[in-house]
Structure 1
Amino acid sequence: MPDTTFFLSPFFQTRASLPELSMAGDTLAPYHGSEGLGDATMTLEQAALVAQIVGAIVVAATLIYLALQVHQGARQMRSEARQAQLTYDQTGVYKFVDFPELGLIMSKAEPPSFEEKTKLVFWMIGQMRAREYEWLQYKNGAITKESWETYRGVIFFVLGTERGRALWEVTKGYFNADFVAMVADMTKDAPPIDMWDKLHAIK
C-alpha cells in the first residue's frame, strides 16, 4: 500500500497550526480583513463633495460668462441702433441739401403744386418712419429714454407747419397705431415752429 503521508502532511500541518477553540465558551473573533474599507469610504465621500463643489463653481462661472455675453450683446445692439439713428438723420439733412426747395414747399404761403406736395409728403414719410423705428427701439429697450427724447425732437420740425400736419393726417394710417397716438399726444399743444420765418428774415 503506498505511503500517503507525503500527500496528507500539508493538510495535517495546516490543521495543526490552527488555534484550538473551546466549544464550551470560546467565540470566534470578528474578521478584520477589511479594516481599510472605512478609510476608502471616507475618501469616496470626500471626492463626491469635491466634485459637487467643482460643479457648483463651473455652473457659477458659466452663468457669469453668459451674463457678460448678454450685457455685451445689449451694448452692441444699442450701439447699432444709435448708428442707424445717425444715418437716418444725416439722410434727412442731406435731402434738404440736395433739394432745398423742400423748405420752400413746406413754408410758402401759396399752395404748392401736386408735384411739390408729392416731394414733400414722401420726404416726410421717410423722416417719420425713422422716428417710428427709433420709438420701437426705445420700447424694446434697445435705446435709452434719453436717446429717444433727443431724436424725437425731429417730429416737431417735420410737423412744424400747418401743411406738414395736414400731410401727416393723410399718411399716418400707414404707421404703427401706438406711434401715431404718441405723436398726437406730443403735438396736440405744440405751436407751429418759426424756423422758416427766421430763415426768410436772415439777410
Structure 2
Amino acid sequence: MVETFNAMTVKAVCGPCNNGFMNDLEAEARPLLSAMIRGSLALPLAAEATTVIAAWAVKTSLMAQLTGSEPAVFPQVYREFYDTGRPTSECMVWAAAVDDEDWALRAECRGMLYALDGQSANLDDPPNILSVTIGLGALLLHTIIDPVLANSTWNLLTYTFHGALVPLWPDPHPTTWPPRVLDPVEAWAICQSMPILLS
C-alpha cells in the first residue's frame, strides 16, 4: 500500500489511547523527529532518544497497517506496545537520512505471509510479517514487525547499507545524526527489501 503520509486516517483507536499514551509518545518524539526531518547536522541521540524514535515508528507502522483493507494482525504486538509504550522484541527499526522528493512525505506498508519450513501457507491467512517505510522530509524510517523469524534475519539490512541505515531497535545505543545520506535507489531498495531477503 502506498499512501501520502498525511493522508492516512485511522478510526480504529479508542479515545483514551489516542488522547493518552499515543499522544504522550507524539509529544515525546516531536522535538527529536522535527530536527531529523529538517536534516539537522551533528544531532547527538542518546539511547533513550533512539528508543523514543523507534517507539514512534512502531506506533505509526501499526496505525499504517490499520489503514488498509487487510485485517489487523499481530495482536500480541499491539497489546505489549499498549502495556509498555515501547517496541516489542518482534520489532526492528532503522533510520536513515534521505534527499529524495519521492520520500519527502510518503508511507509504504507491505505485508508478507511467510511459511516456516515444513509448513504450508494458507493464502487466506493475513500476513505474518509487516514492513513499513516512512519518509518525512530528510528522514526515512524503516520498520519490520516479525513474530515469525529471528531478528538476525534482518541484520543483513544494516550490513548492506552500512553507514547509512542506523539500527534504532531492538538494540538502542547512542549515535550522532545524520549518517551518510541515502541515494534514491538505496531508499527504494530498503523499502522493497523484505521479499528479496526472504527469497
- TM-score over 0.5 for the pair: no
Instruction: Compute the TM-score of the two structures, normalised by the length of structure 1.
Output: 0.28
Instruction: Compute the TM-score of the two structures, normalised by the length of structure 2.
Output: 0.28
Taking CA–CA contacts closer than 8 Å with sequence separation of 6 or more, which of the two structures ends up with the larger relative contact order?
2
